[in-house]
Structure 1
Amino acid sequence: MAHDVIMPKWGLTMKEGKVARWLKGEGDPVEAGEPLFEVETDKITNSVEAPASGVLAKIIVPEGDMAPIKAVLAIIAAPGEAVDSAAPAGAAQPAAESGSEAAPAAAAPSAAAPAGDGKFVPAMPAARKLAKELGVDLATVTGTGKNGAITRKDVQDQADSAFAGINASPKAIEFARKQGVDLSEITGTGEDGKITKADILRAMNPAADQPAAAPQAAKDTIVPMDGVRKLIADNMHASLQGAAQLTVFVELDVTAMVELRQQLLERNKRDKEYRLSYNDIISYAVCRALKRHPIMNSTLQEDGIHLHEHVNLGIAVSIDNGLIVPNVKEADTYGLEGLKAQVRDVAGRARKGGLNMDEISGGTFTISNVSMLGVDGFTPILNPPETGILGVGRVIEKPAVHKGEIAIRQMMTLSLTFNHMTTDGAPAMAFLRELGDMLENPGMMIV
């Protein structure tokens, strides 16, 4: 009996995912429970296990393509079992569902925007949205859905029909559609006369095509702005656009914190596996300070400012292809050793893979530590919808005034970026100052 392989749903906000990599090829045997493919979302990339044993009879959605949740990505069949091969690659259809989640798919189409003659065209909401994005007049589209309603595929087919028979790369077609360029007027310079994106850009800017007097410069190496890198770029840009961000700095004499760490390492030196970092102590202090300044442990949402009872502490972790921020739920309920273990657990799994959606969503405050890079201070960018993010610089020996005399002390810079839409400067600075007092005098953490 054939089994559908579907796009999983990780978290309430996930709408679609990208098939990053198939770990098996068509015709390969698979065992239920073994990793079958990898899915990339705007938050994580994780492997998905095979739902059944058999043979990977057909891959419907190839690597690199997006698919909505519950879409059929492939078919697993028994050895020798025939499967329907009519569906073309990429033509993923949502799998049948029961219960409340099936309701949206069966919902009646709502009225579209008025057509050119003023009449309303029945169309699915997703079709209306896509038509707006692609500049397609719904009045020119023939619906194939229930009762003649226009579907998303109908809109896409109508948009693609304008480029039928044109020898152009998919990226060139997508770019031409967005720019409103008529490809029939462009001469392609690619293989077999194929139109490329560069051909479109030259046509849009003829002056740039004139020969330059200077010798031709060496060709640049181009790194595609896609995948996780593009998602991070989009999220960072959205963060700056959606919040009034302000950063304040404070330089601390953390000699006492350095001594505390050394004392704890000495006390546990018999345990060869024991580790304790400055970040462990800072994370513990941040939780204590946030409980005393609840506005900094808040998120700005559509219905207002949410003050959270517990601290869901986010830890920015650098990975091979970008940055990810897992968080420890109710971090304020742990002691130093317990919090240290939780932070290291999520950070370790962030680097190796294996986080779930719950661990990368719902954070209330984030720490970004760059001390290992030899940086003193920086301006961190908020992780929406959180109100604050703490930047941690390195600990370094510097001359400083101590008890009225110049002495060599252990100094560190903290930077706090906060959303001025959520809180004013004074409460944010009061939080940073109290956190600094705790790190300069660790005994204040237990007061």
Structure 2
Amino acid sequence: MAVEVVMPKLGMAMKEGTVSLWNKGVGDSVEKGEPIASVNSEKIEIDVESPAEGTVLKITVPEGEGVPPGTVICFIGKPGEEVTVGQALVPVQKPEVENEASAKKPAESTIPARKAGERVKISPIAKKMAEAANLNIEEIQGSGPGGRITKEDVQEALKKSSIQKKEKSEEKPVELQEETQQVTVSGIRKVIAARMYDSLQKTAQLTINMKIDVTELIALQKQTVETIKNRYDQKLTLTDYIAQAVVLSLQQHQQMNSALIDDKIHLFKPVHLGMAVALDRGLVVPVIRNADTYKLMDLSRTFKELAQKARQGQLSNEEMQGSTFTISNLGSYGVEHFTPVLNPPETGILGVGAVYDTPSFVGDKVERRSILPLSLTFDHRVLDGAPAAAFLQTVKQYLEEPITMLL
């Protein structure tokens, strides 16, 4: 009996998922656990694995189409097996094998011409070959069932293209051309692109920079590492201390913990802190809700748990919404100063750079000091440069006198 493959539920609030890519086509054999498709919701994208060994009998949801979770997106079974798609059983046509001799193909004259605006039908391997060769699939005539473009059709198009290029090269001087790979913007990358573009278009963003002397903070971190490990089985990072300093500073500068919505500035009392996490597929921002009620150890533990869930693709939509301020750290990449982009409708985002050592005057003596660069981007519609600088100055005071964060 054919096995149903359904659209997974990617978060409690998910109402619709989209098939971003089919790795297998009808007639392709699959192993149990082999990725057969990529699906995404608004912020999460995962691979759907085959629940059984067999053949892809029918694909019911094409690429780019959104359906509710639990919807059957394809069937896996034995070749020629019948499947049910919300109606009586219908026989499954065995697709034409793409590597058969070209003599078995229908004659070109019998292939129906594609109508204007008609969706191009193409096998996954043929699609990949066409994209790699930068061929326009709209210009390729398919010889498979229903006009489907097969691997042999793409190979034939490549031959014709090669002949045409050779003829042109004999007429014109050879011109250097760069090979390009085209990647469709979809899933998390598409959401990020839309949000960042919208952020820059609809806000008045300004970035100010400040250098923080964290020599004493690093010394405190080293002095307490064994005690914290033995007592809490945990490690406090520089990012943890920065997060604590930001939370304490936001409580003193409420204008930075705000949002401009419908021409009204909303000042928030609780601090819902967003902490950006970089993934292979894009950036996600898990949110520590009511961070102002957390102690330093709890703040550190919660962030690490959320970051782990983010890397495993297990964050719910609720855990990525409602932030009132965001921290983005590129220090591990060696970046010092950068310009972070606001996460609307927030008023501020703090960019954290890499710590570096430099000689500095301490009184009349020159000492080796550790410097942390910070970059604060804020919405100039909500507040001016002076109050934004005052907030950053408060963050500086906490980090340069770290004992005050523990009192």
- Same fold at TM > 0.5: yes
Listed one character per residue, the Cα deviations across residues 302-326 of structure 1 (whole Å, up to 9, x for unaligned) are: 3633222322211111111222211
- Contact 1:30 1:56 survives alignment (8 Å): no
Tell me the residue number matched to 2:346. Answer: 386
Does the C-alpha gap of structure 1 residues 81 and 371 become closer, same or farther in structure 2, counting only changes over 3 Å? same
Once the 2 structures are TM-superposed, how far is the Cα of residue 270 of structure 1 from its aligned partner?
A: 4.4
User: Is 1:322 paired with 2:321?
Assistant: no
- Contact 2:61 2:74 survives alignment (8 Å): no
Tell me the residue number matched to 2:376. Answer: 416
Alignment of 1:118-267 (within 5 A): 162-163=116-117, 215-227=174-186, 228-267=188-227
Tell me whether 338-347 or 41-50 shows the greater mean CA deviation.
41-50
Tell me the residue number matched to 1:133. Answer: none
- Contact 1:56 1:74 survives alignment (8 Å): no
Q: What amino acid sits opposite 1:83 in the alignment?
A: T
Tell me the residue number matched to 1:43. Answer: 43
Distance 2:209 2:310 in 1: 29
Tell me the residue number matched to 1:113. Answer: none
Distance 2:314 2:281 in 1: 16
- Contact 1:7 1:17 survives alignment (8 Å): no
User: Is 1:289 paired with 2:243?
Assistant: no
User: Is 1:333 paired with 2:334?
Assistant: no
Query: How does the TM-score come out when normalised to structure 2?
Result: 0.69
Distance 1:437 1:333 in 2: 21
Q: What amino acid sits opposite 2:116 in the alignment?
A: A
Tell me the residue number matched to 2:334. Answer: 374
Distance 2:202 2:218 in 1: 38
Listed one character per residue, the Cα deviations across residues 190-244 of structure 1 (whole Å, up to 9, x for unaligned) are: 76669xxx9xxxxxxxxxx9x875x422532324142343433332222211211
Distance 2:11 2:340 in 1: 28
Distance 1:87 1:387 in 2: 59
Q: Percent identity?
A: 35
Tell me the residue number matched to 1:66. Answer: 65
Distance 1:77 1:167 in 2: 20
Once the 2 structures are TM-superposed, how far is the Cα of residue 67 of structure 1 from its aligned partner?
A: 1.2
Structure 2 runs not aligned, ≥5 long: 93-113, 140-152, 162-168
Tell me whether 326-335 or 272-281 shows the greater mean CA deviation.
272-281
User: Is 1:310 paired with 2:270?
Assistant: yes
Which one of 357, 371, 374 corresponds to residue 397 of structure 1?
Answer: 357
CA RMSD of aligned residues (A): 4.6
- Contact 1:287 1:332 survives alignment (8 Å): yes
Q: What amino acid sits opposite 1:220 in the alignment?
A: E
Distance 2:263 2:36 in 1: 41
Distance 1:49 1:4 in 2: 9
Once the 2 structures are TM-superposed, how far is the Cα of residue 24 of structure 1 from its aligned partner?
A: 12
Does the C-alpha gap of structure 1 residues 173 and 16 become closer, same or farther in structure 2, counting only changes over 3 Å? farther
Listed one character per residue, the Cα deviations across residues 237-289 of structure 1 (whole Å, up to 9, x for unaligned) are: 22211211100000111112112211221423547953221001111111111
- Contact 1:248 1:429 survives alignment (8 Å): yes
Distance 1:165 1:283 in 2: 50
Q: What amino acid sits opposite 1:45 in the alignment?
A: E
Distance 1:165 1:268 in 2: 61
Once the 2 structures are TM-superposed, how far is the Cα of residue 342 of structure 1 from its aligned partner?
A: 0.6
- Contact 1:28 1:56 survives alignment (8 Å): yes
Distance 2:397 2:222 in 1: 19
Structure 1 runs not aligned, ≥5 long: 89-159, 176-188, 199-208
Distance 2:65 2:360 in 1: 56
Distance 1:24 1:283 in 2: 47
Once the 2 structures are TM-superposed, how far is the Cα of residue 290 of structure 1 from its aligned partner?
A: 0.9
- Contact 1:18 1:41 survives alignment (8 Å): no
Tell me the residue number matched to 1:445. Answer: 405
Query: Higher relative contact order by CA 8 Å / sep ≥ 6: 1 or 2?
Result: 2
Tell me the residue number matched to 1:428. Answer: 388
Q: What amino acid sits opposite 2:180 in the alignment?
A: T
Once the 2 structures are TM-superposed, how far is the Cα of residue 58 of structure 1 from its aligned partner?
A: 4.5
Tell me whether 361-370 or 13-22 shows the greater mean CA deviation.
13-22
- Contact 1:77 1:83 survives alignment (8 Å): no
Listed one character per residue, the Cα deviations across residues 173-205 of structure 1 (whole Å, up to 9, x for unaligned) are: 899xxxxxxxxxxxxx976669xxx9xxxxxxx
Once the 2 structures are TM-superposed, how far is the Cα of residue 444 of structure 1 from its aligned partner?
A: 3.3
Once the 2 structures are TM-superposed, how far is the Cα of residue 386 of structure 1 from its aligned partner?
A: 1.4
Once the 2 structures are TM-superposed, how far is the Cα of residue 5 of structure 1 from its aligned partner?
A: 3.6
- Contact 2:84 2:90 survives alignment (8 Å): no
Does the C-alpha gap of structure 1 residues 420 and 369 become closer, same or farther in structure 2, counting only changes over 3 Å? same
Does the C-alpha gap of structure 1 residues 414 and 164 become closer, same or farther in structure 2, counting only changes over 3 Å? closer
Listed one character per residue, the Cα deviations across residues 10-69 of structure 1 (whole Å, up to 9, x for unaligned) are: 4668655335568999998999xxx99753133112467999xxx99743114x433143
Tell me the residue number matched to 2:84. Answer: 83
Q: What amino acid sits opposite 1:162 in the alignment?
A: A
Once the 2 structures are TM-superposed, how far is the Cα of residue 86 of structure 1 from its aligned partner?
A: 6.8
